[in-house]
Amino acid sequence: MSESTRNVSATPEQIESGKTMAVVSYIIFFIPLLMDDMRKNPFVMYHTEQSIVLLLLNIAAGIVGTLTCGIGLILYIPWLILLIMGIMNAANGQMKPLPVIGQFGEKFGLAK
């Protein structure tokens, strides 16, 4: 897969002030969207984009798992791995896209 060509950056102050909310975005994606000061933080919005893509993967895994009588539940393993990777990236102050699915977060256009 090709890397994203988008250049999203955040200042060290934005990263430090947004770490907690970036981690929260992976657990409950809409919380940062409700907070005006966090909507202006590119670090938080970047991780919110990534968490929305993870949510869509989770929904797809649920649908496939339901339609295939549980065989699709194997899709939850990569989802869990990507979730942990996203939380670790946010906690470490990194703005790296998640492998394979991270490039699709750009389509939401939250991080500017």
| 74-108 per-position pLDDT tens digit | 878 888 999 999 999 999 999 999 998 888 888 87
Question: What's the 3-state SS for the chain?
Answer: CCCCCCCCCCCHHHHHHHHHHHHHHHHCCCHHHHCHHHHCCHHHHHHHHHHHHHHHHHHHHHHHHHHCCCHHHHHHHHHHHHHHHHHHHHHCCCCCCCCCCHHHHHHHCCCC
pLDDT tier at 28 (50, 70, 90 boundaries)?
very high
CA–CA dist 11, 19 (Å, integer):
12
pTM: 0.86
Task: Compute the mean pLDDT over every residue in the chain, rounded to the nearest whole number.
Answer: 86
- Which residue type does 9 have? S
- The answer to whether residue 46 scores a pLDDT higher than 80 is yes
Domain ranges of the chain: 12-92
